[in-house]
Chains A and B, each alone.
Chain A
Amino acid sequence: MKIGLEMHFQLPTKSKLFCSCSTEGADPNTQICPTCLGFPGSRPALNRKALEYGLMITKFLNCELNDRIWFSRKTYFYPDLPKNFQITMYESPLGEHGHYNLNGKRIGIWRVHIEEDPGRIKRVGKPGEEVSLIDYNRSGVPLVEIVSAPDMSSPAEARDFVAELLVELRHLVGLSASDEQVARCDANISVGEERVEVKNILGLKNLERALTYEVSRQTKMLAAGKVIVRETRAFDEERKVTMPARKKEMEEEYGYIGEPDLGEYNVGEFANSLVLPETPIKRAVRLQGQYGISAVTAKQIVITSWGLADLFEHLCEKIEPEKVVPKLLGPITSNWNAIEQRLDDNMRAQICRVIEDDINGTITDSEARRAIATIAEGGDHVAEDRTVVEDELVRSVNEFLDAHPGTVKDAKNNPKAANSVIGHVMKATQGKFQSKEIVEAVKKELEKRP
């Protein structure tokens, strides 16, 4: 089975691809201007940030970059397309021949380019009286299109691929968090020889569903000796089936020509100047190798929070990684939201100290847990002076001894009688002290008494 994807994600720029209208959603048809409405006399001007994001994604996907790029007009008539052509890239995408490493498997990337989004059509009204309304707020919002090779071999893998890519791109260029629902994919899938294209699948869940349906449909057809014809199908979200789509123009019939208003751009230097930050999945792979932790743990740390991974690496400078992990995924993750808000050098040092104390046995696990909770809420662990803490132990022991003179007497003759003192203090100090410390303190205080 072969599955290839054509993915469209909105780039998180403030303004649209070719005009200064905001990309932020608002009431219908409020974020519009002559350019994104295609008014005669208006003209596009390229948003540099969108180009930058596009190039970053292209580099990230290990594509060969095109030094000279230009835009093209893809002409087709549709009411949501104000100019009746879409400005996209055709002969000169941002990059080609890239690849992505999906859990050790190489997924080919055929091309990456940027283009403008059309408006949105809404059908409203009672059945039989429906009308189409068009909202052009989306018209001109920048999209990146990523076309993969048919290298995925199951619907679940296709879903994993898109999900992972979204995690990476969110960190790389800041795609919005709702992209899992709005990621738009076209999928090519072949169980036998001939491929079928399923168009306009919205969101990850639907992607997996549409592909799963298509696998079983094609498998059944082949089993029944039927021939699969090359066709375009659409996914019906309600019924969770794919249906033959209206016959859309073949790719070549769009009559592509260059977009003369935008000219050509030499982007090589600009592309080279862009430095890619490390992305979550890549970081997880690095953490796994560098610190010898499991893949699952590494992913868990990074996906939980970028800052958590930072803290992990910080702690590993002083402490062995395998000892850090249980603390990190225990008391630290459970207080992570609070910690993340206040995390600074001081707090990092304090957390480090607590874990060291815990590992050295100078404090108990539960003390460490409580210390971290205190630190998370802005309390100061280091300021908690050990002598003051020890005074508390001595006081607690003496309080009991004062109240139970009989026990003191008994203990003089029978050391086992001290056990009741130890048990009491342990309870009273709520695990703040290790039993060894309590035993010693009790012994010492008893000796002081006549």
Chain B
Amino acid sequence: VSGGMDEARLRAINDKYRIFNQLIDREMLEADDSSSFTFSAKDNLCTKEFQARAGSRILEGYRPPFDATPVRKLREAGGLLLGKTNMDEFGFGTFCTNSGFGIPLNPFDTGRACGGSSGGAAAAAALIDDHVALGVSTGGSISAPASFCGVYGLTPTYGRVSRYGLIDYGNSLDKVGLLSRSMADIKGLLPAISGADPKDPTSCTQPSLAISQRKIKRLALPKEAMANLSPEVESTFRGALDKLSGLGIEVDEVNMPSLRFAMPAYYILATTEASTNLARYCGMRFGVAERNVSQHFNDFFSGVRSECFGQEAKRRILLGTFCRMVGFRDKYYLKSLAVRQLITKEYRSVFADHDLIVTPTMPFVAPRFEEIAKMKPLEMYSADFLTIPPNLTGLPHLSVPCGYAPSMPVGMQFVAPHWDESSLISMGEEWESVFPLRTPEVAQ
């Protein structure tokens, strides 16, 4: 059996942590003798053998007739797909608590969240040996759970990995990436999933990916990133900066004043695109069916959508629809597009004399579920203020575990220029060589 994977153990882990909403058959797992590694796919990546529901009840029953390109490529690279990992509905969330099919529990403390929206993916990476998880990031959905679950999470440049077969959240923002306990897996499999795919035109303008070892010498730390951090994250992160100095890496403080516009611009663009992407879910053609078809289609559509979309999905549809309506479109949607250009420009000027940008990944460690229940939407959205800027601008970024406070992982995020995943991998490998990673004990 590939990777020494034991079906009983996999099932036990899943029962405990609710990582997967669909798992490979026992027979298939045990019959496998050709795979060299196991992988999982976030529920919004289409695969032929499982339903693809993107964490939404409205897609109940949708089994795609095709494999997403990154899934196909990992199979071709010798991977065995274990199952579909839980996620916030359509990627709408920071904690993976907006899932229609099970909320994953943090590998380091089951009373806490995994982070989102690729929460199941991060938990799988943390808990399953020799495993690589396919995650998807729109505004930080790989970095956030990687940080909370203490694993490495790479979000490639927008357009590096084909989105064919990815169920859309915000098409100009969505990126498929990898989460793992090991940088070697990420380094080894990133080239496998990358490359031009005629089925996703936005992947066809990329320069080729050349990964080579390079010494990272100079990092930029935006001052704006150090505001609003929890004390334990701030001190852990400062400790990590010292460690970087010890590696001979210089860290400059820089000003990036436009970063504060990233969050509103992101939420406007992401929800605007999402509100059109989610229009297709109306109880026809795929997903939930049955029901009374002897009514006006508007009533039929509204009925299905009211019943099957979760609260957060409805909130984002309303927000996004509002932002693209006449009178608001110029003020919000078009302005946000301009803000995106502005921030990209600011990043470019920082990269002119720095290899990478470094910040903490999340402003706090994985919160407890009861804390999350008390948060208002805006507080939740604000938690993404460090992960949103590189996502908004399509820059590749890597979250690495950088310490524990005291037992919960803290993440550190590196951002690189467009298409320079190679520098992130060099940095990640160097960090990995000096960082003592903790593997969570599988709770009984």
Contact = CB atoms under 8 A, between A and B. Distances in A.
Contacts of A78: 297
Interface in A64-81: 73, 75, 77-79
A83 B324 contact: no
B246 interface: no
B297 A41 contact: no
A40 B167 contact: yes
Interface in A233-286: 252-253, 255-258, 260-263
A220 interface: no
Interface in A60-104: 73, 75, 77-79, 82-85
Interface stretch (B121-129, B193-201, B217-225, B344-352): B193-201
Interface string A42-61: 11111000000000000000
Interface string B40-67: 0000011000001010000100101110
A262 B276 contact: no
* Residue of A73, A252, A260 with most chain B CB atoms under a 10 A cut-off: A260
* Residue of A38, A75, A257 with most chain B CB atoms under a 10 A cut-off: A257
Contacts of A262: 201
Contact of B329 (A43, A82, A255): A255
Given A40-B167, A78-B297, A84-B279, A34 B66 contact: yes
Interface stretch (B158-166, B180-188, B253-261): B158-166
A206 to B, nearest CB: 26
A75 B65 contact: no
Contacts of A39: 64-65, 285-286
Contact of A82 (B171, B200, B280, B297): B280
B272 interface: yes
A37 interface: yes
Contact of B65 (A34, A45, A256): A34
Contact of A41 (B66, B202, B275, B329): B66
A42 B45 CA distance: 11
Interface string B267-284: 000001101100110101
Contacts of A79: 284, 297
B246 to A, nearest CB: 43
A40 B321 contact: no
A40 B200 contact: no
Nearest to B297: A79
Contacts of B198: 45
B280 A38 contact: yes
B326 A40 contact: no
A14 to B, nearest CB: 17
A41 B321 contact: no
Nearest to A38: B280
A40 B286 contact: yes
Given A37-B285, A260-B172, A83 B202 contact: no
Given A41-B165, A260-B172, A77 B298 contact: yes
A119 to B, nearest CB: 10
A34 B64 contact: yes
Nearest to A132: B297
A31 to B, nearest CB: 15
Contacts of B199: 43, 45
Contact of A84 (B171, B200, B282, B325): B282
B276 A75 contact: yes
Nearest to B174: A260
B65 to A, nearest CB: 6
Contacts of A77: 279, 282, 297-298, 301
Contacts of B62: 40
Contacts of B96: none
A29 to B, nearest CB: 11
B68 interface: yes
Given A82-B280, A85-B279, A40 B201 contact: no
Q: Contact residue range for chain B? A: 35 or more
A34 B285 CA distance: 10
Contacts of A83: 279-280
A37 B287 CA distance: 13
B168 interface: yes
A258 B269 CA distance: 11
Contacts of B46: 40-41
B168 A255 contact: no
Nearest to A45: B201
Contacts of A44: 201
B423 to A, nearest CB: 25
Contacts of B385: none
* Residue of B199, B201, B272 with most chain A CB atoms under a 10 A cut-off: B201
Contacts of B52: 40-41
B317 to A, nearest CB: 11
A255 B273 CA distance: 11
A40 B324 contact: no
B35 to A, nearest CB: 24
Given A255-B329, A257-B273, A257-B276, A40 B64 contact: yes
B333 interface: yes
B113 to A, nearest CB: 26
A43 B333 contact: no
B286 A75 contact: no
Contacts of B200: 43, 45, 261
B139 to A, nearest CB: 15
Contact of A255 (B166, B284, B286, B321): B321
Interface in B271-328: 272-273, 275-276, 279-280, 282, 284-287, 297-298, 301, 321, 324-326
Interface in B99-144: none
Contacts of B287: 40
A43 B46 CA distance: 12
Contacts of A263: 201-202, 205
Contact of A261 (B54, B171, B205): B171
Given A253-B326, A255-B324, A257-B333, A41 B167 contact: yes
Interface string A4-47: 00000000000000000000000000000010011111111110
* Residue of B201, B275, B276, B326 with most chain A CB atoms under a 10 A cut-off: B276
A84 B280 contact: yes
Contact of A40 (B54, B170, B272): B54
Contacts of B65: 34, 39
A40 B62 CA distance: 9
A252 B301 contact: no
A41 B164 contact: yes
Contacts of A43: 163-164, 199-201
Across the A-B interface, give the 4 residue pairs with the lowest CB-CB distance, nearest first. A252-B326, A84-B279, A260-B172, A260-B171
10 contacts: A40-B280, A41-B52, A41-B64, A41-B66, A45-B199, A45-B201, A78-B297, A83-B280, A263-B202, A263-B205
Interface of B: 45-46, 52, 54, 59, 62, 64-66, 68, 163-168, 170-172, 198-202, 205, 272-273, 275-276, 279-280, 282, 284-287, 297-298, 301, 321, 324-326, 329, 333
Given A39-B285, A40-B54, A261-B163, 16 more contacts: A38-B280, A38-B285, A41-B66, A41-B165, A41-B166, A41-B167, A41-B168, A79-B297, A83-B279, A85-B280, A255-B275, A255-B321, A257-B272, A257-B333, A261-B201, A261-B202
